[in-house]
Structure 1
């Protein structure tokens, strides 16, 4: 479980809009909004450098942060951020207020383990990942860093469903109406075709 938090300094924004946002970015700041917890949205500005470092460090969307807004410390979880499609710098961030009792929906990454213990992969099969992450409903104070999928013993044609994954205590999939697929062990490229050709040759000889 991710218990680590970090703190970011921020200042309130009196003006909003495209012109104000462009001016902030020229001054090394990112416009952002804090919303939720039945309170009015709060427009703030953050250091571009500090936010970019946290995004690139990984786990940005699954780690609770403390934002110091002019001395008021607000616990938040990043919910969305926008990147410039050309220059790849952060343009805007949305934060959700959270408390110790908050439940949140987060995209939790899926990690695959013991590939070397999968007969299907050792025989040349391919791990076909259907979901690289799974949306989970969790406590804000107990967000899993990742879900672990054990590939031990899996053969070509086997599938891994969410029911096969050991979920952290208190974590439930947002999709609850079906046992959705996480990954499959697919046949090697050309494997099916070669088998069909072999069968056709056998039939011709017969």
Structure 2
């Protein structure tokens, strides 16, 4: 099937993978799309990720599996001929500019943990004001085998696995950590949740 978007033609080819890949340097481009995607979703993806023009075309490859970031899968595209290392995030994909010696997965993990840390700090700033608790002196992302967080002296360690959760779920966990840090009872904690996150029982 061939479609037209902004005077550019695309040949849609169904395949059994769970992501889209656009190939070619001139119109019509070949678009390999999951067979279960509807055409509106394919068109929206192409609009958000238009193919690079021929003059700017660079060699790239895809990681075999999407990367989960805040509960959403992202297609990872790697460019191996860059003189500097950089990670760029779009609505549906992650672009990694690196040299051939770069450990892509290690770089991706480090970058994602920085995003997680920044998200948690943003949410904690909000809860500090709402609960009037300003005594937490340190926050860190750690590898925790089972728990979502742990209280350590005057700080809180959050699990690095939280990167796989949606932001509203992370927000629930951060609030729970605040309540535990402040030694709120179960009844007090549930009352706080009822006020600030009414649907908290549905977030698991």
Q: Same fold (TM over 0.5)?
A: no
Which structure would you say has the larger RCO, counting Cα contacts within 8 Å and 6 or more residues apart? 1
How high is the TM-score relative to the length of structure 2? Answer: 0.28
Could you say which structure has the larger radius of gyration? 1
Q: Which has the higher strand share?
A: 1
How high is the TM-score relative to the length of structure 1? Answer: 0.28
